Amino acid sequence: MRQIFPVRAGESGRQLGPADPLRSAGPVKPPADGAVGDLIAALGEIYAYPDRTWVKANMVASVDGAVTLDGRSGGLSGPADRLVFSVLRSLADVIVVGAGTASAERYRQAQPGELWQQLRAGRPPAPPIAVVTRNLGLELTDRLFGPAGPRTMVLTTEQLPEDRRKEASRVADVIVAGADSVTAASMVDALARRGHRRILVEGGPTLLGQLAAEHLLDELCLTISPVLEGGQSTARITARRGPAEVTGMRLAGLLEDDGFLLSRYLRA
């Protein structure tokens, strides 16, 4: 993995180390020492959150703009993308996802053994998942609501029936964050008031579209996968109803590994 931007004058790119030092170790992260420790420390600095409430999104897309392959984003991923995925989760206070994405991607709770614990010093070993949903169309017996990890949060509205709210409260922390809908602003405010200032959003497109429209998406980490999906998927990383609203972004960083481009954009 090498850093293409920013680099010092006269350099062609800063070498950070192998993209997947854990290829043979599976999802469990071993102690990070030597070259692995140096790589994780470098990525921790590159993707660090500022000392204030900050909303960071992480998405992947093919060269021709598809956000899924065979219905899931994992088909577009690779070692470099998976490594950054684990680093971003390790740095976050909370991981936010829309209910549709949680269902399609078969979400479960973040596990301490899959995170870089040196990036979580002074915090719980894993961040909770926060699901944004208006009517909670999820199976409460899914592994996302199991006892094996941090208790999942449900950000919902006053429209959720009382019996459904009580049922969900047995396996999750239910937070009413809106009357008819959970807006981006109410979502961020509800999480920040609970001490979750380093907010990582992993989709889906509607949730990202809301954040962009309300000018609350501070940073976008976008991986470009070196594949052509072929036009079967027409979805984009953001989607919203109503007229288009352009949000200016500026390039803050660019990494490359085996054809994968890992970019960071900040809201201009």
Cβ contact 70:252 at 8 Å: no
Strands 2-5 and 14-15: antiparallel
The identity of residue 153, as a single letter, is: M
Q: How far apart are CA 178 and CA 166, in angstroms?
A: 17
Q: By three-state DSSP, how is residue 49 classified?
A: coil
pLDDT at 33: 66
pLDDT at 253: 97
CA-nearest of 181, 162, 172 to 140 is 172
pLDDT at 25: 40
Cβ contact 132:98 at 8 Å: yes
Question: Which two three-digit tokens encode residue 33?
Answer: 């020492």
Q: By three-state DSSP, how is residue 36 classified?
A: helix
Q: How far apart are CA 109 and CA 126, in angstroms?
A: 9
**Residue found by looking up tokens 């940073």 in the block:** 219
pLDDT at 26: 45
Per-residue DSSP letters for 28-93?
SPPP--HHHHHHHHHHHHHTPPPSS-EEEEEEEEETTS-S-BTTBGGGG--HHHHHHHHHHHHH-S
Furthest CA-CA distance within the chain: 64
pLDDT at 251: 98
Superfamily of domain 53-267: Dihydrofolate Reductase, subunit A (3.40.430.10)
pLDDT at 229: 84
pLDDT at 20: 59
**Residue found by looking up tokens 């140096």 in the block:** 38
What φ, ψ does residue 89 adopt, rounded to 5°? -65, -35
Please give, one letter per residue, the 3-state secondary structure of 123-176: CCCCCCEEEECCCCCCCCCCHHHCCCCCCCEEEECCCCCHHHHHHHHCCCEEEE
Domain segments of the chain as ranges: 53-267
pLDDT at 23: 47
* pLDDT tens, residue order, the chain (268 aa): 999 999 877 777 889 987 655 543 445 555 566 788 899 999 999 999 999 999 999 999 999 988 888 777 778 999 999 999 999 999 999 999 999 999 988 999 999 999 999 999 999 999 999 999 988 888 898 889 988 889 999 999 999 999 999 999 999 999 999 999 999 999 999 999 999 999 999 988 999 999 999 999 999 999 999 999 887 766 788 987 777 678 899 999 999 999 999 999 999 9
